[in-house]
Amino acid sequence: MFEKISTQWIDIAPGGCQGLLALPPAGTGPGLVLFQEIFGVNAHIRAVAEQYALDGFVVLAPDLFWRQAPKVQLGYEGEDRDRGIGLMKKLVPEELQADVKAAVAALRARPETAGRKAGAIGYCIGGRLAFTAAALTDVDAAVAYYGGGIHDQLQLAASIECPMQFHYAENDGGIPLAAVDKVREAMGARAEVFVYPGATHGFNCWDRSAYHPASAMLAHGRALTFLAEKLA
């Protein structure tokens, strides 16, 4: 999309695990693993990868569904949404954790990130995986957007030593504010937690009906500032 951004699919781990790598204009920079929603590494996730690459990060977006439907790209409504939910339900937690670890390791091993810090960011299921990465890998910072299920995995919070930032919608049918409070309490001073009034789940995605521009702008500004301070 952008002339200054170079993108390519790379191997992450043996067996077929791949991810989209987006290099910044400088060619090198701090690393950022970008975890997708249930819709695959689709046009929106690719654009987000390029967005953060333009900001100066070396971005790797792993294909979480590589075992079931390699490089699948789905829309947000109807049959595509149903398929995404179906693919998510087939994910095996142990395999998913292995993929998270492999993605972080692959990004750190790239020459473009040599000697630099690395972080994680994710949306929906990807937000939960950014939380997982913070607990199970050596990322230096992590950002989770409306990560479904984080409040049910708070036993991982004790393992998180890096700073985190959480973004939640006020009106998220799958993540009630009581769940947000649980995350805030479990993370304490290690995390910033933001709730966006009037927003619903998926508010950051400009291709979704839930897109809430004011919240998306504010959240991106906060996330970019946070990642720049912690990684760059």
Active site residues: 124, 172, 201
The torsion region of residue 124 among left (phi > 0), alpha (psi -120 to 50) and beta comes to: left
Distances (CA, A) of 71 to 5, 65, 67: 20, 7, 10
State the Cα–Cα distance between residues 63 and 100, nearest whole angstrom.
Answer: 10
Q: Which of 1, 4, 66 is nearest to 36 (CA)?
A: 66
Q: Which residues pair with 61 in a beta bridge?
A: 20
State the Cα–Cα distance between residues 67 and 91, nearest whole angstrom.
Answer: 9
Distances (CA, A) of 88 to 9, 96, 133: 22, 10, 18
